[in-house]
Structure 1
Amino acid sequence: MNEYAEKFNEYQEQQEQQPFVIDDDGKADWALRKIKHAQDKKEELSNFVQAEMDKLEQYQAQEQKKLDDEIERMQGYLSTYAMQKRENDPKFKSQSLPHGRIKFVKQQPKYHYDDKVLLESLKKAERSDLIKIKEAPDKATLKKVFVPNDGKLIDPDTGEVVDGVTIEEREEAFKVEVDK
C-alpha cells in the first residue's frame, strides 16, 4: 500500500470516529438539501407504490367480480334445487352434503328508519324516554370564555376553577422547513 492510500485510510477512520456536527450556515444548508432530497425520494417512492397498488387493486376487483359471479351462479343453481326439493317435500328445511349444507333459514324482520320523521313522531307522542340526547362540552367556546392560570381553567367572572380541565404548558418545538 502506498503512502497516500495509508493517509486516506487514516483520514477515513478519523472521520468515522468523529460525529458529524453542523457548525456553519453552509453545513446547515447542505443538511436542508439532504432533507429535501430524502423527502422527494419518499414522495417518489410513495407515488410509485400507490400506482402499483392501484393496478393490483384493479386486478383484484376484476378477479373477485368473476369469482363473485361464479359463487352467485352456483348459489342460484342450489336455490333452484332446494326449491324443487321443497315442492316435493313441503317440510324440507335443510340437507347436509359432503362439501357443505343447503338450508332455508328464517330471518328476522328488517327495520328501515327515517330518523327525522321518527324523531318528530316520538316528540308528538311525548315519548322522550325513546330519544337519546348526547351532551358534550363545547371545548372551543370554553377556551374563549375561561382564562388559563397555573395549569387550571378559571372563570373570570367568579374566579372559580373549572373542574375537569388541566392545562399542560409545552416548550417550543423545533421544526425544519424545506423549500419546495
Structure 2
Amino acid sequence: MELQEYLDQTEAVEQEGFKVDDEQKANWALRKIAQFQNQQKQNNELATIEISKIEDWNKSENERLQQSIDFFQSHLASFAMEQREKDAKFKSMKLPNGRIGFRKKQAKWNYDDKTLVKTLKENNLSDFIRIKEEPDKSSIKEAFQVSDGKVINPDTGQILDGVYVSEQEESFEVKVND
C-alpha cells in the first residue's frame, strides 16, 4: 500500500460530502492537491517525451519523402528544359496528374530601412514614411495617479481620457509545498 493510500484510509476522508472544517482536513486537502499536481507533472513529462519521439519520427519520414519528391522534381525539370530546347515558346504542359512548366517570378524588393528612411527624409519624401503612434503604457502607470478608476495628472489634476482603471477582487490562492 502506498503512503498516500494509507494516509487517506487513516484519515477516513471521502470526497462525497467532504468538507474542510478543521486544520487536519485542510492539510489533507493540500496534500491531495500536491499529489494531483505531481501526477499532472508526471503526465506532462511523459507526454513531452512521447511527443518528442513522434516529432522525430515525423521529421525523419518527411525528410525521406522530400528526397523522393526532389528526385522526381529534378527529372521533371530536366524534361521541361528539353521541351524548351525543342520549342522556345514552351511555358507549361498539362498532364492527367498535374502540370509542369515555367513561371516568371515577381521582382524581389530588398530594403535597408534605415538608409531608405534617411534618403526619403533628405529628399522631402516623408509621405512615404510611416509613423506608428501608441501610448507608452508603463510610463503612464508610473507618472499618473488613480482615483475612483480615473487616471489623473498629479501636476495639473487633469483627467486622462482614454483609460479607466478597474479594481480587481481578491483571488483565493492555494500553494502546496513540493
TM-score range, shorter chain: 0.7 to 0.9
Matches within 5 A, 1:1-180: 19-180=17-178
Q: 1:17 to 1:98 in 2, by over 3 A?
A: closer
CA deviation vs aligned residue, 1:16-42 (integer Å, no higher than 9, x gap)? 896211011111111111111111110
Q: Percent same amino acid among aligned pairs?
A: 45
- Tell me the amino acid that sits aligned with residue 90 of structure 1: A
Normalised by the size of structure 1, how large is the TM-score?
0.87
Q: How many residues align?
A: 166
- Tell me the amino acid that sits aligned with residue 78 of structure 2: T
State the distance in 1 between where 2:55 and 2:157 align: 60
Pairwise CA RMSD: 1.7
- Tell me the amino acid that sits aligned with residue 137 of structure 1: P
State the distance in 1 between where 2:38 and 2:67 align: 43
CA deviation vs aligned residue, 1:63-98 (integer Å, no higher than 9, x gap)? 101111111111110010000001001111111111
What is the deviation of 1:169?
1.1
What is the deviation of 1:179?
1.1
Q: The residue matched to 1:56 in structure 2 has which SS?
A: helix
Q: Which runs of 4+ in 1 moved over 3 A?
A: 15-18
Q: Please identify the structure whose Cα radius of gyration is greater.
A: 1
Moved more, 93-102 or 112-121: 112-121
Q: Which ranges in structure 1 are unaligned for 5 or more consecutive residues?
A: 1-14
State the distance in 1 between where 2:41 and 2:120 align: 54
Q: Which ranges in structure 2 are unaligned for 5 or more consecutive residues?
A: 1-12
- Tell me the amino acid that sits aligned with residue 135 of structure 1: E
